[in-house]
Amino acid sequence: MGRSAYLKIFLFLLPAILFTVIFFITPAVMTTIMGFTNMDYRFQWNFVGLYNYFKMLIDPLAPKIILTNFVYTFGTLLIFNVTFGLILAILTTSIREKNGIFFRTIWLLPRFTPPVVYGVIWLWILSPMKEGLLNSFLRYDYMPWISKFPWQVIIITNGIIGASMGMVIFASAIKSISKDYLWAARVDGATWLQEIGYIVLPMIRWPLAFITAYQTLSLLTSYEYILLITEGGPYFKSTVWSLYSYKVAFSSYAGTYEFGYGAALATILVIVGIIASIFYWRIFKFKEMMEEPKIEIV
């Protein structure tokens, strides 16, 4: 290919590159650099070396937050995003298509609901007062669900949204399995559960791997529903690492906007994210899905 061919490709890609560089790559690099400063609301670049990272090592909250983050990420991933998503996909594809779509639509609704509305709905369900849905049903006059069960609350509220992604992707993978395999199994007398165990599950292993990897990364770093519903509380009980970084940088609970320390906390998250990406990349062989174009004419 000649130079002009590359120029054309470059022109097609230019808007994408421009946007990604200005509003994605630059801020990503900038955060990493900010992690070595003690920048606050005055926005001064005072480089302090590894100060923020030493601060992290002795931060009394750090171990608790790591534990919460771990429980939250893998709890939600395994219970909801993978297992529950898979159950929903198998069940909604085992009934007639019209009924299956109906239930899948219900489960997709939370994902497309504005987060603040989803939060309001949960604040009403879990309200400590007697007007809340749970308390009305159980006839409690007062029961602070959120402060009593913070971990369960963040896992369930995020999981209900997380399950829908697995559901949609697994369901479409299941539907694309050639009917011949299923009929062959049925002729051989396989039960429904055997069909699932010996045909469906092995044939959707790629989407299973994809969802596991993709959702681990999403969950490692997602905090908006936690911020909305529990605000990381009570105290720091349901604060995950990303939310802690957000609080340090923006909520000024300590009186100042600690952008530098917040950025350093966020950098750790990126490092963990990259390690997890590489790990998944290797074990699930994602390279195989990047097939090269078959012909080339420019």
Partner 1 sequence: MFKKSNNKIIKNRSGGKINLREVGIIIFLTIISIGIVMGYLWLFAGSFSGELVYGIVPKNFSLKNWRFLWENPFPENPDWPNIWPILFNTLYLGSGVTLIVVTVSTLGGYVISRMKFPGRSFLLASTLVLHAFPAITLLIALYYILKTLNLLDTITGVVLAKAGFFTPFGIWVMKGFFDGISWDMEMSALIDGATRFQAWHKVMLPIVKPGIAAISIFSFLMGWSEYIFVITFNRSYSSWTLTSYISAIVSDYRFSDYGLLAAVSLFYMIPVILFFIFTQKYLMEITLGGIKGGR
Q: Is 185 in the site for partner 1 (CB under 8 A)?
A: no
- Identify the DSSP state of 233: -
**Shortest Cβ 86–partner 1 spacing (Å):** 14
Q: Is 259 in the site for partner 1 (CB under 8 A)?
A: yes
Q: Is 127 in the site for partner 1 (CB under 8 A)?
A: yes
Q: Which stretch binds partner 1 (CB under 8 A): 53-61, 62-70, 145-153, 221-229?
A: 221-229
Sites for partner 1 among residues 137-176 (CB under 8 A): 137, 160, 165, 168-169, 172
260 by Cβ neighbours in 10 Å (0-12 / 13-18 / 19+) ranks as buried
Contacts of residues 184-193 at CB distance under 8 Å and 24 or more positions apart, as own/partner, are: 192/94
Give the x-and-dash track for 73-102 against partner 1 (CB under 8 A): ---------------x--xx-xxx--x---
Sites for partner 1 among residues 267-296 (CB under 8 A): 267, 269-270, 273-274, 276-277, 281, 286-296
Select the residue interacting with partner 1 from 49, 114, 202, 255 (CB under 8 A).
114
Instruction: For residue 30, give the nearest of 41, 13, 45, 16 by alpha carbon.
Output: 45
| Alpha-carbon separation of residue 166 from 88, 229, 273 (angstroms) | 9, 23, 20
CA 44/CA 10 separation, integer angstroms: 37
- SS3 call for 294: coil
Sites for partner 1 among residues 57-76 (CB under 8 A): none
Asked whether the beta carbons of 95 and 217 are under 8 A apart, the reply is no
Count of residues touching partner 1 (by CB under 8 A): 110
Instruction: For residue 266, give the nearest of 258, 277, 255 by alpha carbon.
Output: 258
Give the x-and-dash track for 4-43 against partner 1 (CB under 8 A): --x-xx--xx-xx--xx-xxx-xxxxxx--x--------x
